[in-house]
A and B are shown apart, each in its own frame.
Chain A
Amino acid sequence: MNDTFLRWVLITLLVLPLFGALGALFPAPPGLRGRNQDQAVLRHGVSITGIVLLLTVILAAGFDYAHPARMQASTDLSWISSLGIRLHLGVDGVSLPLLVLTALLTFLCALYSYFKMPEGPSPKGFVALLLVLETGTLATFAVLDLMLFFLAFEMVLIPMYFLIARWGGEGRDRAAFRFILYTVLGSVIMLLGLLLIGLKAGTFDMVALASDNGSKLSHTTQLIAVLAIGIGLAVKAPMWPLHSWLPDAHTSAPTVGSVLLAGVLLKMGTYGFVRIILPVAPQGAHTFAPYLAAFAVVGIIYGSLACLAIGRQGSGGDLKRLIAYSSVGHMGFVLLGIATLTPTGVNGALFANVAHGLITGLLFFLVGAIKDRYGTTDLDRLSGTTGAALYGAAPRLGGLLAFGAVASLGLPGLAGFWGEMLAMFGSFHPAAGLSRPAYLTFMGLAAFGTLLTAAYMLLVVRRVCMGEPTAAPTGQPATPRMLADVQGYEFASWTPLVALTLLAGLWPAALLGLTDPAVHALLGGSR
C-alpha cells in the first residue's frame, strides 16, 4: 500500500467521527431506524467507531515497519497562513500504537454502551460527544503542528465535561468543573509556551522543530517554554501535585468516561512530553528532567499510599477512586521513564503508556460491572466483614478482576511489567549530565512503589474476590448469592484488552521495535 492511500486513510479516520457526531444528531435514515431511536443512534456510534478502528488497523497494516522513525501517511496543507498554522498530519512509531489504542478503546466503549447505556439523558448526545472525543484524541496523536496539537488538546474537554456532568454519578457537577478548569488552566499556560517556541523558532511545525533540535532557541527560551508546556502536560498526565482533579473525575464519570479518561486522555499529556518537549527544547528538558523525575517518584509513592489508605478496611474507600489513584502511580512511572532522557527510559514510558491504557481500561470496565451488580463501589459495603466473594458469586468476573489486578501490579509476562521495568532501568543509567546518584535514589523509590502497588492490588483481590460467600454484602440476608456472571457483550468488550495485555507482556518486542527507532530520532540532539 502506498503512502497516498495511507494518507487518505489517516484523514478519513480523523474526519469520520466528526461527521458521525453530526450524523448522530439527525434522525436515522430509513432502513437504519432499528427498534427505536435510542437503539439506532447507539448502533450508529458502534458502526462509526468500528469503521475508525478498522481504518487504524489498515493504517497499522500499511505502515512501513522498516522505517518507524519516518513520518508516514503525512499530509501538509496550509490552513491559517497568517499564523503559519498548517494541517500537518502523520504517524510514526510513537504515535501509531496510541492511535490504535484510542480507536480500540473508543470502539469497545461504544460497544459496551450499546448494551449498557449509562443512566442519564438520551443516548443521542452521548454518542455525538463520544465521537467528538474520539476525533480530538486521535487528532492529538496524529497532528504535527503545535497549534493543531493545542486545538486537539482542547477539543476533548467539552465532550468529556458533558460525559461526566450528564451521565456521571454522585458529585458529577463539581467533578466535571474541576476537571475542565484544571485542564484549561494547564493548557492555556501550555499555549503560552507553544507560542513562545513558535514565535522564536519561526515555525509551528513539529517535524521542522524536532529536526532543529532546539538549535534556534536560546537557553532561556527553552527553559520558559519547557516550564509552561510542562505544566500544561503535567496537569493532563497527571503529575503529582497537579493530579487532584483526577480522582474526583474518575469517581464521578460513567464507566466509559473513566475508561477513556484513563486509557486515552492521560496519554495525551505524556505523549506531549515525548513529542514536543524532548525533541524541540532538549536543553530545557535536560534542566527540568531531575525535577520531573522527583515529582514522578513522589507521584508513584503517593498514589500507592493513597490506594493503600483507600483499600484499608473501615476507611469507606471507593474502588473506582482506588483505581484512579493507581493511575497517578502508574503515570508516575511513565513520567520517570521520560525524565531519564534515555532511549531505554522513553521506550519504557511509551510501553507503560499503552500498557496502562489496556490494563486500567479493563479495570474500569470491571469496576463498572461490579457497580452494576452490587449497586455500589464502596469497598466496605462491598466486602462486608470477610470479603465480597466475587470468586464464588461470579467466578469469571472475579477471575478477570484478579487478572487485571496482577497485570496492574506488574507481573512479568503481562503488559504492566515491561514498561515499569524499562523506566527503572533507564533511571539506572540516566542520560549524560544528569545526576546518577539522584536517579539511583529515584529508582530505589520507584522499586519500593512497585511493592506498594502489589500490596494494594492484592488487598483489592482479597477484599473483593475472596471472602465468605454467605456473609456478603452487609445488610443482605445471609444466603449464598449468585450474581450474573460475565455477559456476552462484556466478554466482547473485554477480551481484546485481555488478549492485548497478554500479547504485549509476552512479546514486548512488537511494540518496542516500533517505538525504539522513533525515540532515537526524537532524542537525537540531546545525546
Chain B
Amino acid sequence: MTAPAGGLIQSVDWIALAPPAITAVVALLVLVADLFLPAVRKPLLGQAAVGGLVLAGLSLLPLLHAGRATFCLTTGSHDCSYVADHFTLVIQLLVLGGALLVALLSLNSQDDLPAGEFWFLLLSSTAGAALLPAARDLATLVIALEVASLPAFALVGLKRGDRLSSEAALKFFLSSVTATAVMLLGVSFVYGATGTLHLAALADGLGHTPRQLDTLARTGVALTLVGFAFKLAAAPFHFWVPDTYTGAPLPVAAYLSVVGKASGFSGLILITVIAFRHYADVWGPALAVLAALTMTVGNTAALRQRPGHPRSAVRLLAWSSVGQAGYLLVPLAAAGYVGPGSDPARHIGATVSYALMYGVVNLGAFGVAALVARTSAGNRIADYRGLYATRPLAALAMAFFLLCLAGLPPGIVGLFAKVVVFSSAVDAGLGWLAVVMAVNVVIALYYYLRWTALLFAQPDAVPTGAEAGGAPAAVPALRAPVSLTAAIALTAVVGLVLSGAPQIVLRFTSGTLF
C-alpha cells in the first residue's frame, strides 16, 4: 500500500495486521474452495474456518509486548490508522475466541445452512470485528463496523425458506442501515468541525473548536453516539434484538450476542474515551441514562418470558444480553465522570473485563442451548426441565453459566465482574446508577435462577408428550457431537479457571490499556 504523502513508499507492518488479515484471507479461500468442493467434502470448509480462526488467534502472540502501529501519516502528527495496543489485543482475543466458539457450535448444526456462504460470511464479519478495535480513524472505524455488520445481516437470514429468519434479517438490516446513516451524518459533522478523521487529532480539534462550529461538533458527537447505541442494542434502540436473535440460526444469535456486542463496544470506547473526551459532559450523562434504561428494559423483558413459549430459551438469552449490555455501559458512563486530566482507563478496563467474562459464559450458555435444541427443536425453557437427569454435565455447566451471568457464587468470576462494574460506578460518584443496577441484578437473578432451578427439577412424567412429534421418553438422548461438547467444555473450563483466579480478566482494570 502506498501513502500519498510525498510519494513515499510506506511499508506495512503485516505482523500487526495479521489477526484481521488472516481471518479475511481464510474467508476468501473458503468462498473459492466452496465452488470446487463436492457436496460430501463440504465439512472441510468448516474445519478450514476453525483452523483459520485458531491461526488468527495465535497471530496475537507475537504482538503481546510491542505496541505496534501501521498506516501512519508520514508528516505532521504521525497519527496512525491501525494500532495494535493492549486494548486492541484484548478485544481481538475476545472477537476471535468468540468466533472460534461460534464456529465450534455451528460445525454440526448447519445441515440446513449453505456451508460455503455461512463460513465465508462468519469469517468476514469476524475480520471486520477484529479490525475495529485497532482502528484509530473514523473512516477505518466506520468501514470496520460495516464489514462486521453487513455479513451479519446475511447470516441472520441464511435459513432457507424460513419466514421468521428472513423477517429477522430485514429488521436487523433496516435498523442497522439507519444506524449507519445517522452515524455517518454525525461523523461528517465532526469532520466538518475539526477537519480531521484521526481520533487523536479529533480529540485535539474538538478541544479547540471555533465558537460558531461548537453546535455542529456537539450535534456530530450526539449523532455518532446514537449510531453506536443502535449497533449495541442499547435502549431505546433495542427493538430489533429479540426478533433477530430468535429468527437467526442459534450459532448466529450467539455470535451477535458476543462478537457483535464486542465490536460495538470497542467502537464506542474508542469514540468516547479517545476522540470525544472533551465532550465527556455530553456523553457521560447520556451513557449513564442509556445504561440505566438498557438494563432495566432488558431485564424486565427477560423476566416476562414464559418458559412454555416456543424459542423462549433464545428469547430470554437475547433479552438478558440487552440487560448485560446495560451493565457494560456503566463503566463507560463512569469514564465520562472522571475529572479532566485523570485517566479513564480503569473504567474502560472494567468494561473490558466484564465483556471477557460475559463472552465466555454467554457462549457457554448458547452452547448448552444448541445441545438441547438438538433433541427439542422448540427450544423452550420448559425443555430444560430435568436436564440434570439426562445430561448431568451439561446441566451443571448450564447452571454454572447462568449463575455466572447472574453473578452469584459458584460463578465467582461473574460476581467479581459485577463488583468491578459497581466499583467504577461508586468511584465516579454515580450512586443512583449503582442502585439502579443493584435492583436490576436482583431482577436478573430471578429469571436466571428460575431457569437454573428448572435444570434440576424432576423431569416430567411424559417429557415431550405435549408435542406431537416429540421423542418418547425411553429413547436415550442423542449423542452430542464432539465439536459442541468441546465448545461447552472449553467455556466451562475457562469459566472455572477464571473463578479460581479472577485476576486473569480483572487485571485490565489496573494499568492502562491504550
| Residues on A facing B (Cβ under 8 Å) | 79-83, 85, 121, 125, 132, 136, 147, 150-151, 154-155, 157-158, 161-162, 165-166, 177, 180-181, 184-185, 188-189, 191-192, 195-196, 198-199, 224
Contact = CB atoms under 8 A, between A and B. Distances in A.
Interface centre among B403, B410, B412, B508 (most CB of A within 10 A): B410
Given A147-B419, A157-B408, A189 B509 contact: no
Contacts of B391: none
Given A158-B403, A184-B441, A192-B434, A80 B416 contact: yes
B410 A158 contact: yes
A196 B434 CA distance: 11
Interface of B: 349, 403, 408-410, 412, 415-416, 419-420, 422-423, 426-427, 431, 434-435, 438-439, 441-442, 445-446, 449-450, 453, 456, 458, 502-503, 506-511
A347 B511 CA distance: 45
Nearest to B423: A195
B439 A185 contact: yes
20 contacts: A82-B503, A83-B416, A125-B456, A151-B409, A154-B408, A154-B409, A154-B415, A155-B410, A157-B409, A162-B453, A177-B449, A181-B445, A184-B442, A188-B441, A189-B435, A189-B438, A195-B419, A196-B426, A199-B426, A224-B431
Interface centre among B423, B450, B502 (most CB of A within 10 A): B423
A344 to B, nearest CB: 36
B422 A151 contact: no
A317 B487 CA distance: 53
B419 A121 contact: no
A interface secondary structure, majority: helix
B468 to A, nearest CB: 30
A161 B449 contact: yes
Contacts of B449: 161, 177, 180
Leading 4 A-B pairs by shortest Cβ distance: A82-B510, A188-B438, A155-B409, A185-B442
Nearest to A155: B409
Contacts of A188: 422, 438, 441-442
Contact of B422 (A85, A157, A185, A191): A191
B446 A177 contact: yes
A527 B311 CA distance: 62
B438 A83 contact: no
A136 B450 CA distance: 22
Nearest to A177: B446
B506 A83 contact: yes
B423 A83 contact: yes
Contacts of A132: 410
Given A177-B446, A180-B449, 12 more contacts: A82-B507, A83-B420, A154-B415, A155-B409, A157-B409, A158-B408, A181-B446, A184-B441, A184-B442, A188-B438, A192-B426, A198-B423
A2 B506 CA distance: 36
A470 B415 CA distance: 58
Nearest to B434: A192
Nearest to A191: B422
B392 to A, nearest CB: 9
A158 B419 contact: no
Contacts of A151: 409, 412, 415
A353 to B, nearest CB: 24
A212 B434 CA distance: 27
Contact of A192 (B403, B435, B503, B511): B435
Contact of B503 (A81, A158, A199): A81
Contacts of B456: 121, 125, 162, 166
Contacts of A224: 431
B50 to A, nearest CB: 32
A351 to B, nearest CB: 31
A165 B453 contact: yes
A184 B453 CA distance: 17
